[in-house]
Amino acid sequence: MHIFIPNLILTRLMSWLASSRNKIIKNLLIKLFIKLYKPNLEESLISDISDFPTYNSFFTRKLKKEVRPIEDSELTIVSPVDGTIMDHGMVEGNMLIQAKKHEYPIKELLGEKYQNDNESKQYFITIYLAPTDYHRIHCPYDGLISSTCHLGESLFSVNEKAQVNIPNLYIKNERSVMKFESSSLSYYLVSVGASIVGSIVPFWSDSGPKTRKDCINEWNKGPQENKNQALKGQELAYFKMGSTVILIIEDSAQLDLHSLTTNKTVKFGSKLINLKNL
C-alpha cells in the first residue's frame, strides 16, 4: 500500500493540474515538458503552445495526417502507437512474459470475457510509450470490435525499471481491453494505464469533460453498433499521460515474425508485422 496510495494522490493532483485552464499553470507545464523531453512539435497539428487550452490537450495532441502514413497492404498489421517493443513472443501455457523474466496469465490480463477455444498458439507484442511519444492509440488491422471492458485499479509506473521489479505489473494496473474480429484475423488490444495516467479515453466518448469513472463505464458499455467496425489507422483511444499497449494475436501461424525485434522503435501506421500470404 505504501506505493499505491502515493500514486493515486499524485495522479489526482496531476489530473487537476493537467486539466487546468489557467494560462500560467498550463504554459508552465507545457514549457517544462518541452524542456525535459523535446517533443517534435513540427509533427503536431497544433504547434503553438498558446493554442492549447490545457496541458492535457497538449499532451494528447493530434498529429498532421501526412507525418504518419498508414501502410495499406492487406497483409500488414501496423503499429497502433509510437513506442518501443519491450517484449514479444508466443503465449506458452497461457502465460505472457514481462521484462523477459516475469510470467503472468493471459486470462487475468484480458478478464472474464477471454476465451481461447481453439488449439492455435497466440502471439503477443508489448509496446512501451515514453513520455515524449505520441499518445493516441489506433487500430492496427481492420476488424469488428466484438467486446470491450475495463479492468484493474492500481496505477504503478510502467517504465523499464518498474517492469523488471514489479511482477504481474500489467494485471495490477488499470487497463482497457478491446477484441477485434475479421475474416482474416482475430486479436486483442490492451491499453495499460500507469502512474499519473488519470484515464484511458475511448473514441466513442463524447467530447465533454470526463471523469475516470465516466471512462470506466464507457469501456464496459462499449461502442454503439454503428461505431463498432474499425478500420486500420482509425483512432481508438488516448492516454491522459503515458503507458503501454499489448497486442495479442489469436493464431501465430498466420504471422511472418521475421521483422520483429525487441527494443525496436515503432511509429503508429508503420509496419509492425506481416500476415503470411496463406
Catalytic hit among 15, 44, 82, 102: 82
Q: Can you point out the beta strands (E) in 152-234?
A: 175-181, 186-192, 200-202, 229-230
- Residue pair 68/269 in contact (Cβ under 8 Å)? The answer is yes
Which residues, in sequence order, are CB contacts of 204 under 8 Å at separation 6+? 218, 222, 223, 224, 227
Told to judge if 82 belongs to the known catalytic residues of this protein, a careful annotator would answer: yes
∠ CA(138), CA(143), CA(145), 5° rounding?
Answer: 80
Query: In Å, what is the CA distance from 101 to each residue of 95, 165, 208?
Result: 12, 10, 42
Told to judge if 243 belongs to the known catalytic residues of this protein, a careful annotator would answer: yes
- Cell 486470462 -> residue: 107
Catalytic hit among 88, 138, 176, 191: 138
Distance (Å, whole) CA 107 – CA 229: 25
Told to judge if 88 belongs to the known catalytic residues of this protein, a careful annotator would answer: no
Reference 193, options 213, 166, 178, 172; nearest CA is 172
Q: Exposed (0-12), middle (13-18) or buried (19+): which is 16, by Cβ within 10 Å?
A: exposed
Catalytic hit among 15, 44, 176, 243: 243
Residues noted as catalytic? 82, 138, 243
